[in-house]
Amino acid sequence: MQRDELRVIPLGGLGEIGLNMMVLEYNDDLIVIDAGLMFPEDYMLGIDMVIPDISYLRQKGDNLRAIILTHGHEDHIGALPFVLKEFKVPVYGTPFTLALVQEKLQEHEGIGKVEFKRVKPRDLVQIGPFRVEFIRTCHSIVDGVGLGITTPVGVLVHTGDFKIDQVPAGGELTDLRKFAEYGEKGVLVLLSDSTNAEREGYTLSEREIGQKLEEIVRVSKGRVIVALFASNIQRIQQVMDIAAKYERKVALVGRNILTNTRIARELGYMRFPRGGVVDVKDIDKYPPEKLLLFTTGSQGEPMSALSLMAMDNHKDVKIQKGDTIILSSRFIPGNEKAITHMINHLCRRGAEVIYEKISAIHVSGHGYREELRLMLNLIRPEFFIPIHGEYRHLVQHVQLAREVGMAEEKLLLAEDGDVISFNNGKGKIIGKVEVGKVFVDGKGVGDVEDMVLRDRRQLSEDGMVIPVMVINERTGEVVSGPDIISRGFLFEEKKGEILQQAKAVIKEVLEGVPLESKTDELEVENEVRRALKRFFRREMDRRPVIIPVIIEM
């Protein structure tokens, strides 16, 4: 690395939704912006979460100076416990963000004491050669910030996740004045949220969403159940105020909602109507038309409160005819099937279900194209790097930058692992570092790799066959078997014929194995496996996982 060179290295978030993690490096000093997770995709069978590969940070040893968090969503803080197990560095964030992190760290062992540095918008902190200013942003969670970072090479602006709402719930406006100040002084590089770069126009205002939600509550004759993300404190407060207006008692259902609202109240970000919140165990004491429930599970998560209600398995809440259920969140890609399955079950129980596709009851926390264009025009950076999105989103954001007049050589379309260098007024991608996705499965971190996922996928698609036989270890003679156990492979009525043929194949193979090889357990296993693979592929065009079990005696 050249001296007096600023490097920007995304370890996640450029090429996918989630996994957000960005390294800034100047000489021997590094800071990290965000440490997020990604929820598993369909092919990641059994995986609980995905976190960024931090091999590059490990290479840098003690040079990491701090981690800075822009806000408290899982795709920005979810990987932090795994990072803090390896790096004992200060963590900077706003009060609500740090409170969520502290709650999360209680679920993890082996982290030890963490130095939390609480900041508020417009605070300035010096971390080595980086002077960082926190800039208020409007998002779908309270206490979000962007960053103005002054380095010896120039100024970098990182927007965090943002939208521009003129009348947001909770009153947290994106600080356009501060962003414009940076634009006036001169910005070397802008890193801007690309999540909604494909969507034309402006995001709806939360006030408009609130009006629609109020209309639904006003006309509903029975209970209203609102499912949303537990982190959307502004939306919860907005609907809670509507419930108070129409004299409905409120109950909170789900551990995350109870935790997040408790934290928000303690920090002064929300208020409960006096006497308006009741325990979910007491809801039967009130008539349906006087109740409004908040719950988790808007994405159809299998064990979430709303999914349990849909299957009539929730211990406290039973869906009944006349209930109105509002899914006040978007359908996250990959969750559509689970959500529609849940909606079908809710409808079967007599509820009316209202969701984004049929009514304007949700608005994104990420700015649409006109808001992104406005940010580009306010900052007018020398260089531009789109961040936070799949590759197509980054491409669309680059196109927006062209439309506002930025020169092609100033547009740096980067992906995870790219090393973007700034030195002597020049900016370019100069190389790549090791990056990737680390799978978390239960307590295992990184011990599940692509080969394991392939095996799981093969097991799920073609099943498993276990041939079992007992062999004399001296003579190689088959003493018992072969017997065949299969799971997820054949219908019961077909099992007899096919498996009898498979046994004959094994016997034929064993007869052809030389005597000296029969006493080699590994050699026998390999011969049996190869023969059965050929047989099942020829007879059934299937490829089950075959696990021979040889017992020597």
Q: How confident is the model at residue 111 (pLDDT cuts 50, 70, 90)?
A: confident
Least confident of 262-276, 346-360, 367-381: 346-360
CA 491 to chain centre: 38
Which of 52-61, 245-254, 524-533 bottoms out in mean pLDDT, i.e. has the lowest? 524-533
Which of 153-157, 194-198, 265-269, 436-440 has the lowest average pLDDT? 436-440
pLDDT-derived band at 519 (thresholds 50, 70, 90) equals: low
Q: Is pLDDT of 298 > 80?
A: yes
pLDDT of residue 292: 97
Please check whether residue 54 is in contact with residue 64, taking contact to mean a CB–CB distance below 8 angstroms.
Answer: no
Residue 144 has pLDDT above 70, yes or no: yes
| Poorest-pLDDT segment among 83-92, 120-129, 294-303, 380-389 | 294-303
Structure-model confidence comparison of residues 193 and 519, the more confident one: 193
CA angle 462, 464, 470 (to 5 degrees): 155
Higher pLDDT, 444 or 543: 543
Q: Where on the phi/psi map is residue 551: left (φ > 0), alpha (ψ -120 to 50), or beta? A: beta
Rounded average pLDDT over 129-146: 97
Read off the tokens for 116. Answer: 């939390």
* Residue from 314, 366, 388, 397 carrying the catalytic annotation: 366
Burial of 411 (0-12, 13-18, 19+ CB in 10 A): middle
The pLDDT assigned to 349 comes to 93
pLDDT in tens, 306-363: 999 999 999 999 999 999 999 998 877 667 788 899 999 999 999 999 987 767 788 8
Instruction: Work out the number of other CB atoms within 10 angstroms of the CB of residue 225.
Output: 25
End-to-end CA distance of the chain: 62
Task: Flag whether pLDDT at 282 surpasses 90.
Answer: yes
Q: Is 76 a residue of the active site?
A: no
**pLDDT confidence tier of residue 68, bands split at 50, 70 and 90:** very high
Higher pLDDT, 378 or 1: 378
Distance CA 170, CA 206 (A): 9
Residue by residue, what is the 3-state secondary structure of 111-178? Answer: CCCCCEEECCCCCEEEECCEEEEEEECECCCCCCEEEEEECCCCEEEECCCCECCCCCHHHCCCCHHH
Bridge partners (DSSP) listed for residue 533: none
Is it the case that residue 472 has pLDDT exceeding 90?
no
Q: What is the pLDDT of residue 456?
A: 57
- Predicted pLDDT at 333: 65
Mean pLDDT, rounded, for 188-198: 97
Q: Choose the most confident range, by mean pLDDT, from 186-195, 362-371, 540-549.
A: 186-195
**pLDDT over 90 for what percent of the chain?**
64
Please give the residue that has the higher pLDDT: either 477 or 232.
232
Per-residue pLDDT, averaged over 135-155, amounts to 97
Tens of pLDDT, residues 147-185? 999 999 999 999 999 999 988 877 789 999 999 999 999
Rounded to whole angstroms, the Cα distance separating 316 from 278 reads 13
Mean pLDDT in residue range 399-424: 96
Kindly report the average pLDDT of the chain as a whole number.
88
pLDDT for position 10:
98
pLDDT value at residue 40 = 66
> What domains, with CATH codes, occur in the chain?
6-201+364-445 (3.60.15.10), 206-354 (3.40.50.10710), 463-552 (3.10.20.580)
Decide which of 446 and 327 is more confident. 327
- Spatial CB neighbours of 534, under 8 Å, sequence gap ≥ 6: none
Establish whether 316 is a catalytic residue. no
Token duo for residue 438: 């680390």
In three-state form (DSSP H/G/I as H, E/B as E, the rest C), the secondary structure along 269-296 is CCCCCCCCEECHHHHHHCCHHHEEEEEC
pLDDT at residue 234 greater than cutoff 90? yes
List C-alpha distances in Å: 2 to 10, 28, 29, 382, 421: 19, 11, 13, 21, 10
pLDDT on residue 460: 60
Task: Round to whole Å and give the CA distance between 314 and 386.
Answer: 43
pLDDT of residue 496: 65
Place of tokens 């969520």: 100
Residue position matching structure tokens 């408790």: 262
Q: Is 199 helix (H, G, I), strand (E, B) or coil?
A: coil
Distance CA 497, CA 484 (A): 12
**pLDDT average, residue stretch 174-200:** 97
For residue 390, pLDDT over 60 is answered with yes
Tokens encoding 348: 């079967």
Q: Check: CB of residue 325 under 8 Å from CB of residue 216.
A: no
Residue 449 has pLDDT above 60, yes or no: no
**Mean pLDDT on 488-514:** 72
Higher per-residue confidence, 446 vs 545: 545
* Residue among 175, 193, 323, 441 flagged as catalytic: 193
Sheet holding 324-327, edge to edge: 277-278, 249-253, 291-295, 224-227, 324-327, 352-354
User: For 99-108, 147-156, 374-383, which range has the lowest pLDDT when averaged over its residues?
Assistant: 99-108
pTM > 0.85: yes or no: no
